[in-house]
Structure 1
Amino acid sequence: MQLYNTLSAEERSILIDEAGKQRLTLSFYAYAQISNPTLFRNELFLAWNALEVLGRIYVAHEGINAQLSLPADHFYAFKNTIEVYDFMKNIRLNVAVEQDDHSFLKLTIKVRDKIVADGLVDETFDVTNIGIHLKAKEFNTLLEDPDTIVFDMRNHYESEIGHFTNAIKPDVDTFRESLPIIEEQLSEHKQDKKLLMYCTGGIRCEKASAYFKHKGFENVYQLEGGIIEYTRQVKAEGLQSKFIGKNFVFDHRLGERITDDIVAQCHQCGKPCDVHTNCVNEGCHLLFIQCETCATAMQGCCSQDCVSVIHLPESAQKAVRRGIKNGNKIFKKGKSDVLTFKNNEETHGVFVPKKEKLPVEKESKIKKIYIGKGTHFFPKSSVGQFQIEENEIKIGDTILIKGTTTGEQKLVITEMLVNDFVSEKAVSGDRCTFKLPFRIRLSDKLYKILE
């Protein structure tokens, strides 16, 4: 029985491209009493691996928390595999706002103590005694109530790029940190105020609402299905979106565009920007916000030290990384002394939104012609692949790669492969690859800049 991945992310990515199937990215969760999480995990892996499901899933005695992708034509077969279990019958599946065939490249199902790390002793309260679920229209109405206090239950790097208007956004690294902060701040308003909460897909609010009811809060409400389901309902019903900016997601996209508002700033220069990236230094991978100008100047890195490292021979880079343990202790998200603007004296590392909206970045008036679209990205070698659909490009040309998540990235072509061979020029119909200091998405467009 195969109960683990046998393919690397790069090999899986190639298979996805060769299959040519549209994939759906979705998420769901369910609290339940699972007596044998390991057996449950193995059953899911066998069923889902056969359906080409990829994703990151946590199971525990208390339930399941899943973010995954699967071929669209396997959707109903997938539903059948989960509805074998009574607690997942008719479960809501939150389909992503933006789709990307490469959102996940491995199937990882892990047995954990909890499906959300909350630091709570669950035996002290009833986790099923939850707050009142609100749909998008009801949520919008309650937002306008002067007796409502709305809390963002996500972490600082999530709320920084998008949030509901008037929401309180605790500056925390983890979900567990926000619970005592909220309880303390509202300790005198357990009866007279309405506590309104939201998160990405609803799972954190599910636990938090039960916790706050246990702590004596009488009016506890939560956004049903989180930001993902809220956005779907807003579009379907023609409602005004009270959520502005981007919704942070935990796959390689790192964000879904909800509105055109840009409510964050580049962590290196302060320019309005909401594009998250990971430092390209394999030994760093700091998650931070970086505008296209800084991405070019810093070559996709968070600091000059990391720029120096990526230019070392691979053997030297491995020597630098040797002994560094992976995990939250080194992979901090959006908080590091090297982020010049994020940590200047004026902001003290925290961006405080102004009352007025930051201006939306206007499309730069660059003379350009369309060349093609992104088809693949090879993470380890940092290589992007494009299908040339119109016109041509050659060594020495300045190109523009543009996308919702990628932003606008300019660079000069110094070397490239055309149909897997070194070449000076690529024309319509060719497949072109070249090294990049950033990850491309399949929705990215390639342009040649005209002088």
Structure 2
Amino acid sequence: MQLFNTLSAEERAELIDQSGKQRLTLSFYAYANIEDPQQFRDDLFLAWNPLEVLGRIYVATEGINAQLSLPADNFYAFKDHVETYPFMNGMRLNVAVEQDDLSFLKLTIKVRKKIVADGLNDNTFDVTDKGVHLKANEFNEMLEDPNTVLVDMRNHYESEIGHFKNAITPDVETFRESLPIIEDDLKEHKEDKNLLMYCTGGIRCEKASAFFKHKGFKNVYQLEGGIIEYTRQVKAEGLDSKFIGKNFVFDHRLGERITDDIISQCHQCGKPCDTHTNCANEACHLLFIQCDDCASSMEGCCSLECVDIIHLPEDEQRERRRGIMKGNMVFRKGKSDALKFKKSGDAVAAVDLATAPKVKKDIRKRERKIFVGNAEHYFTKASVGQFAIEGELKTGDKIIITGPTTGREELVVTEMRVNGEAGTMAKKGDLVTINIPFRVRLSDKMYKLPQA
């Protein structure tokens, strides 16, 4: 009985690519009394794994919090299963604004103490006494009221790339930090102001609204369904979007565009940019904003020190990573002095620095390509990449090399060495070296494009 993942992220990405299925990315949450979270977790895995569900799901005695993707063809089978649980019957499933078949590459269902780490003792207040839920049009109307105070319940790295105009954006790294800060900042306005909150999908506001009502705030409101549902309603009803920029998401995409406005900067050069990435040095893995030019010149790294490290032999890199617990440190290191243009909290403003280029994307159209092999090594001084061949390769083939850090690079094989000797043809089991004008990594895959 399989209750855990058996495939690596790379293997799963290859299967997704070969399947040709369009996938949907969605999220949802539900508070409920779950007596046996571990059994609930196992039941979900057994039901969802055959449906090819991938994602990050937390369950606890207080409920479920899920971000996941699944083949579009399996959506209704998934929905039918979810609704066999009474507390999830009729629950809203927030479908992502932008879709990406590779948003998740594993099915991870974890039992936690809480579905959101809020640091609160739920026994000290009524968690069901929540604020008033507002739909998009009601939310926009309340923003026009001068007695409304709008608060972003997300973290600094989320609000930096996108937020509602005139919102208070606390300079915090975790949700639990924001609650006492907001309470203290607004303590003089518990009765005369409308406290209006929003977050990504609504789950943080569910608990926060009950907490603030417990603390004496009289007029507490929250955006129903968060930014994701707000955007859907804005588009469906032709409303004016008061949100500007990108919505940060906790999957491979790291963000989905809501408006064409770019309000943040590359943390390294200051150029208008709202593309988050993780440092290519796995011993660092810092989350930061990096433009294409800096990604090229810094090889996907956040600092020159990390650039030096990624050029070390792989064994030495692994040794440096040993015992490092990254966790939330990837966000805290976002305050690194190496990042000269970092902004958060009071420094965040809804200022349009640039307009995102229009990208025409057909998620149904797939590139035909044939898997050839895996990257084994990169010889920096010689600019030569070594690959273990799993298919067939010959000179003249047009190839693509892809990976999480490398991205997508395309070139033609003009010459190669097969098992150390000059050759024109390689087959499964051969080691091939070819000249490559960019660094390749162990996670990179080689594909060839069919001849025209």
Which TM-score band (shorter chain)? 0.7 to 0.9
Q: Distance in 1 between matches of 2:66 and 2:323?
A: 32
Q: Residue 325 of structure 1: CA displacement?
A: 2.6
Which residue does the alignment assign to 2:417? Answer: none
Equivalent residue, structure 2, for 1:169: 169
Q: Provide closer, same or farther for how the CA distance between residues 330 and 203 of structure 1 changes in structure 2, counting only shifts above 3 A.
A: closer
Whole-angstrom distance in 1 between the partners of 2:255 and 2:62: 28
Contact 1:61/1:113, CA 8 A, preserved across alignment: yes
CA distance in 2 between partners of 1:261 and 1:382 (Å): 41
> Deviations 1:322-370 (Å, cap 9, x if unpaired)?
232332245636222221333xxxx7x767245642232568xxxxxxx
Q: 1:424 to 1:286 in 2, by over 3 A?
A: farther
2:401 aligns with: 433
- How many residue pairs match? The answer is 396
> Do the aligned partners of 2:169 and 2:348 also contact (CA within 8 Å) in 1?
no
Identity among equivalent pairs (%): 68
Separation in 1 of the partners of 2:291 and 2:182? 33
What amino acid maps onto 2:353 in structure 1?
L
Taking the aligned partners of 2:257 and 2:272, their CA distance within structure 1 comes to 15
Find out whether 1:182 has 2:182 as its counterpart: yes
CA distance in 2, matches of 1:439, 1:17: 15
Distance 1:218 1:436, change over 3 A: closer
What is residue 354 of structure 2 aligned with on the other side?
359
Partner of 2:257: 257
> Alignment partner of 1:44: what SS?
helix
2:116 alignment partner in structure 1: 116
- CA shift in 2, pair 1:149/1:423, >3 Å: farther
Shift of 1:434: 5.5
1:242-291 per-position Cα deviation (integer Å, ceiling 9, x unaligned): 00000000001000000011111111111111000000111111000011
The one-letter amino acid paired with 2:89 is: K
Residue of structure 1 equivalent to 2:3: 3
- TM-score norm. by structure 1 comes to 0.82
In structure 1, the gaps of 5 or more residues are 364-371, 384-412, 442-451
Instruction: Give the equivalent residue in structure 2 for 1:366.
Output: none
Counterpart CA distance in 2 for 1:170 and 1:254 is 20
Counterpart of 2:234 in 1: which secondary structure?
Answer: helix
Q: Return the alpha-carbon distance in structure 2 between the equivalents of residues 266 and 57 of structure 1.
A: 31
- The equivalences for 1:43-82 within 5 A come to 43-82=43-82
Q: Is residue 415–residue 434 contact of structure 1 (8 Å, CA) maintained in 2? A: no
Q: Which protein shows a greater Rg?
A: 2
The residue aligned with 1:308 is 308
| Cross-structure match for 2:217 | 217
Question: Is the Cα contact below 8 Å between 2:159 and 2:169 reproduced in 1?
Answer: yes
Q: How far off is 1:18 after superposition?
A: 1.6
Cα deviation, 1:160-203, whole Å, max 9, x if unaligned, reads 00000000000000000000011011111111000000000000
Distance 1:220 1:115 in 2: 22
User: Separation in 2 of the partners of 1:132 and 1:286?
Assistant: 37
Relative to 1, partners in 2 of residues 1:34 and 1:376: Cα closer, same or farther, differing over 3 Å?
farther
- The 2-side partners of 1:177 and 1:304 are apart by 32
Bigger shift: residues 43-52 or 13-22: 13-22
Q: Deviations over 1:273-324 (max 9, x none)?
A: 1000000111111000011111111110000011001111111211222232
Structure 1 pair 47/310, CA: closer, same or farther in 2 (3 Å)?
A: same
C-alpha distance in structure 2 between counterparts of 1:81 and 1:217, whole Å:
39
Amino acid at match of 1:272: P
8 Å Cα contact 1:34-1:60 kept in structure 2: yes
Deviation at 1:73, TM superposition (A): 0.8
Equivalent residues in 2 for 1:33-48, closer than 5 Å: 33-48=33-48
Distance in 1, Cα, partners of 2:116 & 2:404: 35
Structure 1 residues 22 and 126, CA, compared in 2 at 3 Å: closer, same or farther? same
Say which SS state the counterpart of residue 50 (structure 1) adopts.
helix
What is aligned with 2:14? Answer: 14
What CA distance in whole angstroms lies between the structure 2 residues aligned with 1:66 and 1:382? 36
Q: Is 1:99 aligned with 2:67?
A: no
1:337 and 1:128 map into 2 onto residues whose CA distance is 43
Contact persistence 2:298–2:304 (CA under 8 A): yes
Partner SS state of residue 65, structure 1: strand
Cα gap change, 1:121 to 1:375, in 2 (>3 Å): farther
Task: Say whether the 8 Å CA contact 2:23–2:71 is kept in structure 1.
Answer: yes
The CA distance in 2 between the partners of 1:178 and 1:128, in whole Å, is 20
From the superposition, tell whether residues 214 and 201 of structure 1 become closer, same or farther in structure 2 (CA, over 3 Å): same
User: In structure 1, what is the Cα distance between the partners aligned to 2:345 and 2:196?
Assistant: 23
1:273-288 aligned within 5 A: 273-288=273-288
**Residue 135 of structure 2 corresponds to which residue in structure 1?**
135
Compare 308-317 and 415-424 and name the one that shifted more.
415-424
Q: Is the 8 A contact 2:263 2:349 kept in 1?
A: no
Unpaired runs of at least 5, structure 2: 359-365, 378-382, 410-452
